[in-house]
Every structure is written in structure tokens, then in C-alpha cells.
Structure 1
């Protein structure tokens, strides 16, 4: 039996309502893979770290945004979703107030609030994660 490492990551879909449109918090990646592409804030889960705590930590490290409430959405684990290795990500959804400010930090080159109706080309499978999250928002 052949075994290979599978890595665990978290990604956060953070939304705020501006007028009648939801805007999503995206980071521009500083490093490869997908250097300079836009992506969801997220990263690797540390050993012995709770998933939601990891999601909040990664969000804060990359965007300086603190959030209290996150809802776990779904795990995304298609092989080759990340060119580095087999990565499984657990996606979380959260909402912030319109006045919430984000500042690029850590491995984020830039950060922006972008209308969900005008998304750029995204890294990894983050378009799939965002689309799934938006179906949940419509259900609210």
C-alpha cells in the first residue's frame, strides 16, 4: 500500500454588505504557487490546532481582520487543487461590518474588498469555494 502526505488547510470567505452588494475579502498572494493571483485568506493548520482557531489566525495574520463568528462550510479536497501537494481545505464563512478595514500582512502582498459580482481570476479552486459560500448566503 502506497501512502502519501495529505495536508490540511483552512480558507475564509469573509463578506460585508456595501449598499446592496456583498463584497468579499481577497488577498493578493506574495508567494508561489499562484504568486500575484487573488485568493481567499487562509493557510495551513498547525499541529494540535482547532480548525476554526486556525481560520481566525490565518485571517488575522494575512489581513489584520479579527472576527468572532465563523461558520464551517465544507471541505474541499479534489486532488491537484494545489500544485504543491494533495491539500484538503476546510472553508469557513463570516460576515463583518461595512466599516471593517483590512491591511495586507504576512504573505499577502495586497488586500481588497471586491464585489462578488466582479471577481478576478482566482488561485486554486477558490472560485468554487466562493460560489458554494454564496449559495449558503442566499439561503439565509
Structure 2
């Protein structure tokens, strides 16, 4: 039997006043972008909800609750195949704070709410911007490859 592994990842979409919360990394998160949505891998023994709350707090200093599942996507071509769960989250409390970056290979250097109309300047795809501007149509569904949501 082949040794096969798959990794679950969670990503949070926090929107306030037509702006979306993003984190900036020291290295590119894809070929064109340093900015991304907060999130990360689900650790052994964690629920998706717990992982989402933990990742948001670790990366942004904010406590959140999950409002709804937006999309499930996959990225099987990675060295470890990945399933991505994209959640809409709501801020409960906390203050935006840069993380310690002790455990990350790609450090976070900035965190900010970015107006929707500025996403293009940060090299987000038109596919992703269309989803944001249209309040994530077809939410709650499997969308196939992660590129289908423009990330």
C-alpha cells in the first residue's frame, strides 16, 4: 500500500464595511501575491471550527466565530495533497496584532482591512474579486480545484 497523506487547511474571510481582512507574508503565497486570507493547516485532533478560530487568533490577534461555510476546494498537485475549507467569519473581540512568527516559514509582516476595490492592486485574481463583490455566490459547495475560486 502506498504511503498517502492529505492535509486539511482552513481560511477565514472577515469582512467589515466593504473591506476584507488580509495578512501580508515575507514570501509570495503564489506567483504574484504576498497578501492572503488568514488561515492555515488543521492540526491533529482539531475540529475545523477550532482550527479556524486558532489560526485567526494566531495570525491576527482576533477572536472570531464561524458564520458559514463558503467553499470546499482541493489542491491535489501539492507535495501533500490539500483540502481547503473557506469560512465566512465574524469578529467577536480582540485587537489586530502581528503574530510572533515563531512557528511559520512564511512570516506575516502586516495585517489590514483592504477595501474590495483595492484587491486588484494586491494581485488578487478577477475570479476571487468577483466572488467577494458578489457576496460569495454558490456558498456552501464544493468548488473543485482551488483555482476555481481564484486563490
Task: Please state how far the C-alpha of 1:26 moved relative to its aligned partner.
Answer: 0.3
Contact 1:23 1:116 in 2 (8 A): yes
Gaps of 5+ in 1: none
Gaps of 5+ in 2: 102-106, 138-151
Q: TM-score, normalization: structure 2?
A: 0.68
Q: TM-score, normalization: structure 1?
A: 0.72
| Corresponding position of 2:22 | 26
Task: Please state how far the C-alpha of 1:2 moved relative to its aligned partner.
Answer: 4.9
Cα distance in 2, alignment partners of residues 42 and 130 from structure 1: 21
| Corresponding position of 1:14 | 14
RMSD: 3.4
Contact 1:14 1:96 in 2 (8 A): yes
Cα distance in 2, alignment partners of residues 33 and 15 from structure 1: 21
| Corresponding position of 2:51 | 54
SS of the aligned residue for 1:61 comes to helix
**Between Structure 1 and Structure 2, which shows a larger proportion of strand residues?**
2
Contact 1:79 1:87 in 2 (8 A): yes
Give the number of aligned pairs.
Answer: 128
